[in-house]
Amino acid sequence: MQLIIAEKPSLARNIAAAIGQMQKRNGYFEGGGVIVSWAFGHLFSLCDIEDYADKPTPNARWTIEGLPCFPKEFRFTLRHDSSGQVDPGVARQFETLKVLCRRADVDTIVNAGDADREGEIIVRLCVSHALEGFENRAEKRLVRLWLPDQTPETVRAALADMKDESAYDCLADEGFARTYIDWLYGVNLTRYATLKTGKLLRVGRVIVPIVKAIYDRDMAIRNFVPETYLALRSAEETKGAVVELCGKEKFPASERARVEGLAAAYNAAGAVVTAVKRKKDEVKPGKLYSLSKLQNVLGKKYKMSMAESLEIVQSLYERGYLTYPRTNSEYLATAEAGKVKKILETVKAIGYPVEFKNSKTIFDDSKIESHSALTPTYKIPDKNALSETERKVYSTVFRRFVAVFCAEACKAEKTEIKIAVGDYEEFLLKGTVIVEPGWTKYDDYTQKDKLLPQLEKGDAVNINFTPTERETTPPKHYTIETLNNYLKNPFKEEKAAAKDAEDENDDEEYRAIFEGLELGTEATRTGIIDNARKSGYIELKKDVYRILPDGEFLIESLVRMGISMDKYKTSELGKALKKIYHGKMPVSGGVELAEREIGEVFAKREMPPEEDTDDGFLGDELCDCPFCGGKIRRTKFGYGCSGYKEGCKFTVNRVICGRVISKQNIVLLLTEGKTAKIKGFVSKNGKLFDAALRLEGTQAKFDFL
């Protein structure tokens, strides 16, 4: 008897339907020697810090005691509800799985988690806990059901070709390592930062670099000071079309007289066509979609958030209309040629001119890590079966698939014209004219090149160069597309990333993904960005991201605390996780790397008062108040006297002129009347200066002596 454990009820229903003739029971299906049951996604979550104490105290108040917490062995518990109790529905379903796993007639247990690292460990956790302490555990064979889509035919084929679960051990190791590392960062640094600031700050391995990228971009925009410059420009008509020529050099606005003289020299020299190149060419369609590339298009075209688009794609996958969505590849596996041919037959039968193409730009095993590109399946939905937004998403994937396999080529005439202005400068103009539309009838195509006049070599071109005043422009806010491109390779310039996204040669892009340089993964990135939105750190309006005040507070607080969670450290951990996936590093290696990074935050570093930035934790007692005898405590915004109820109003801000005032310096101020000479204050005009603080009455004043 086989027991198949699906990650979700919807997948269990699809598997049961594909097998056929199964009876619904309480928490499972059964029939024909097969049982199909399910989890609800994560039935288990990692225990909290308090659970590792000698005497666990659930829902205890957070304190610095016990931090950092580095468990010798990570433990899991059944998922809790919002009240902190074990979710009763989760408990019931796990009990069902436990009984089924231990049934004497069940000799094979099938892991039918989603085909990714998260789905791998969800079902493994269910099985390992269900069989914990079971004396006949060794008699159970564990196998894996790997589903690229949920159509009945694919389910039946996959059931006939299952591998031992051990074949996916490296995938599981990476999944567990990610879970452990994210827990270590999340619980330790979230508590540390919250206790330091008195405000809940969600500090995570990936969420912080994402928020910081948006913060850095918005600060660059906010602090941008435009500069005026001059450029030479001509836009005169020749042979019925305006020929626009823009000089490459930028001149200071103060040099207008020189630029006017240069414009006169350009005009006197005249412009002549020195070369014309025309060739017939084919315009290639875009590549098939990875999840992030699809989200880029949907965000740009329909202003659809990543969370919304993923939810719809996931639903279309669960209903059997699309292949597995959480893929980082735009290519198909060569072994899928037969499946693709069947899909093409279905697409051709409903009137689209498609044909099979065995091209390296479509089929390339070297560009696939776990899953192939998103495509439709042979199961074509009725238009009335989809909502308007579902139609938009499905149509985008479907039309790209048709374009890639379109039997009709898009033919064009491409023109390049070189125009020389005396010996001063040579200009290159490019234009494209579509002769036969081909695949562009089915998928979006943007004409980027301008329409050029019919010029030949030796023709004169009318010009009238004049100095044109322009302003430098600030960087643009991140959009869904540009943020996604950044997260896929945070070490590449934005223009280069955008260009690579369109280029046929994308070797470097895939090398970065496979090495683990990306921030987050296709499977997790959408949820993390959505969490940043729900936490009030960033906002998304249309398809543009902006930082919010709480996001500024998060990043600036982490900087003051010396918590560096930038793209460099996150990518180092990402590379370690890829090594685990490839079997080149044990899970413990990745965990130890994270523990070292986190341990540095908590390490006690003795610093001289001139450089000290340790402001302690909310509620720390520092010394007696010299004015009323009360206790000076660290407050949310600074240091204040506990005698405020008796009328003592002494307070000192924690941050003065951009510099954190340490506990050590506050004690010096209140016991000796003056701090050390503190380094690193920032004036209103952005200049650094050093100064002590002295006590003048109840006020802290700068002392430059």
Q: What is the pLDDT of residue 258?
A: 95
Q: What is the pLDDT of residue 647?
A: 80
Q: How many residues does the chain have?
A: 705
> What is the distance between the alpha carbons of residues 508 and 510, in angstroms, rounded to a whole number?
5
Q: What is the pLDDT of residue 499?
A: 57
Question: Which of 298, 313, 217, 307 minimizes the C-alpha distance to 545?
Answer: 217
Question: Sign of torsion, CA 326 331 334 338?
Answer: positive
Residue 529 DSSP one-character state: H
Q: Do residues 507 and 313 touch, judged by C-beta distance below 8 A?
A: no
Low-confidence ranges of the chain (pLDDT < 70): 58-59, 449, 494-504, 604-605, 644-645
- What does the pLDDT look like over 444-481, one tens digit per residue? 987 776 778 889 999 999 999 999 999 999 999 999 99
Task: Give residue 122's identity as a one-letter amino acid code.
Answer: I
Q: What is the pLDDT of residue 83?
A: 76
Q: Are strands 2-6 and 23-24 parallel, antiparallel or unpaired?
A: unpaired
Q: What is the pLDDT of residue 495?
A: 63
Q: What is the pLDDT of residue 504?
A: 63
Q: What is the pLDDT of residue 503?
A: 59
Q: What is the pLDDT of residue 529?
A: 95
Q: Which helix (H) or strand (E) holds 315?
A: helix 306-318
Q: What is the pLDDT of residue 140?
A: 95
Q: Are strands 141-144 and 108-112 parallel, antiparallel or unpaired?
A: parallel
- What does the pLDDT look like over 241-259, one tens digit per residue? 899 999 999 999 999 999 9
Q: Is the pTM of this model over 0.85?
A: yes
Supply 545's token pair.
């991201």
Determine what percent of the chain falls in helix, strand and coil, rounding each to the nearest 5: 40, 20, 40
